[in-house]
Amino acid sequence: MKNVSINDIAGALHVSKTTVSLVLNNKGDALGISKRTQSRILKLAKKLNYQPNKIAKGLILGKTETIGVVLADISNVFYSKIARAIEDSLSHREYQVLFLSSDEDPAKEKKGIEILKHRIVDGFIISTTQLNKNIILQLQEENYPFVLIDRHFPDIHTNSVIVDNRGGALAATEHLITMGHNKIAHLTLSTHLYAIQQRIAGYRQALEAHRIAFSPDWIQDIPYTNAKKRMMIALKTLISIKGMTALFFANNRLTILALQCLQDMKINVPNDVAIASFDDVDTFKVTHPSITAVEQPLEAIGKYAVDILIEEINNSGKMNPKKQVILPTKLIIRQSSRKYPVTADS
């Protein structure tokens, strides 16, 4: 269980640990350590399977080559795909990733960030709950490297990588309009997340652009608690009472929930009602019908976030200009938004 240290190598070879450290960090040539000494050290290090103690290195260097990733919930496909993209981009640079799920709870978010901050991570990638602006402001003030993903504060100038939520919602809604619908409802979340608000804005923008009369009750919030029951009621109201012929959902969770409800209610998609969703997930390819959705570039989000973060970490000290990137989404048209009449296939 004992690990080989730089001292062990130095002792065995009768050289100083300085020499060993230098050689192992490829500074041998620059500092003019003899080829012979270098190769002896290198050889022994390999033989003993020497691995530097990252903790000790971290202490002196003030860097751990570890970054903290704070997400709402790692078990949600959306985040786990981003997580994977982040992990991949980072591992190419020999960085490690610490994950933290905030569960949309600002207290958990704060606690997690504080624990990691104190020198265990070199920086953060955060999908903020947006419920605790202070913690973000504080990081910013302390000049702690971080980048916000998926969600950001429109009024704080931080590094951020988000998608064009408004554009995506606009495209989906316009597609529904193109398919002949003019009674299109929007099912969304009761939240103040800026990203969700932008989706509402995109939806409304599409209706306006096509001069479709709109009434505020076309938009229904589904709360987190009692979601299924509330969804049932909302669907019934929108479809049976208000005569909506198309539904646009703010995220994949809502859509999947609605699909179950619609099946229970014997309402056929897309014959009785057409559907489009924000967030493309694999499930949407195998449902019947398959679901038209706004795809978010998850790998790109992860990649950009890492690039920006690493650059900031490497330039720490210097005041880096904050970068904001907004990535385009892509509308994937499937069966759920087909024009009817539709011939049923199995």
Mark the segment that binds a copy of itself (CB under 8 A) among 146-154, 156-164, 175-183, 281-289: 281-289
**Cα 236 to chain centroid, rounded:** 33
Binding flag, residue 98, a copy of itself (CB under 8 A): yes
Per CB under 8 A, contacts with a copy of itself among 219-278 are 256, 259-260, 263, 266-268
- Select from 89, 101, 160, 220 the one that contacts a copy of itself (CB under 8 A): 101
Using CB under 7 A, which of 16, 143, 260, 271 touches DNA?
Answer: 16
| 238 CB neighbour count, 10 Å cutoff | 24
- Asked if omega into 270 is within 30° of 0 (cis), the reply is yes
List the single partner that 26 binds among DNA, a copy of itself, none, CB under 5 to 8 Å by kind: none
303 binds DNA (CB under 7 A): no
The count of residues in the chain is 346
Give yes or no for a contact between 107 and 99, defined as CB atoms under 8 angstroms apart: no
Contacts with DNA by CB under 7 A: the residue count is: 27
Q: Which of 11, 39, 61, 103 binds DNA (CB under 7 A)?
A: 61
DSSP string, 51-94: ---HHHHHHHHS--SEEEEEES-TTSHHHHHHHHHHHHHHHTTT
- Burial bucket for residue 265 (CB in 10 Å: 0-12, 13-18, 19+): middle
The one segment of 14-22, 39-47, 286-294, 307-315 that binds a copy of itself by CB under 8 A: 286-294
Burial class (CB in 10 A: 0-12, 13-18, 19+), 224: exposed
Angle at 334 between CA 234 and CA 167, to 5 degrees: 70
Sign of CA dihedral 114, 120, 122, 126: negative
Widest CA span in the chain: 88
- The token duo for 37 is 């000494």
SS3 270: coil
Interacting span for a copy of itself (CB under 8 A) from 24-32, 109-117, 126-134, 226-234: 109-117
> Which span (18-26, 48-56, 125-133, 180-188) binds a copy of itself, by CB under 8 A?
48-56
User: How many degrees, rounded to 5, is the angle at CA 317 between CA 312 and CA 318?
Assistant: 75
For a copy of itself, the closer of residues 74 and 209 by Cβ is 74
Q: Rule CB under 8 A: is residue 96 a binding residue for a copy of itself?
A: yes
- List 37, 182, 237, 283, residue binding a copy of itself (CB under 8 A): 283
Which residues of the shown chain bind DNA in the complex (CB under 7 A)?
A: 3, 5-7, 14-19, 21-22, 24-25, 31-34, 36-37, 52-53, 56-57, 59-61
Q: Write out the residues near a copy of itself by the rule CB under 8 A.
A: 1, 3, 51-56, 58-59, 64, 66, 73-77, 80-81, 83-84, 87-88, 91, 94, 96-101, 114-120, 142-144, 256, 259-260, 263, 266-268, 282-283, 285-288, 345-346
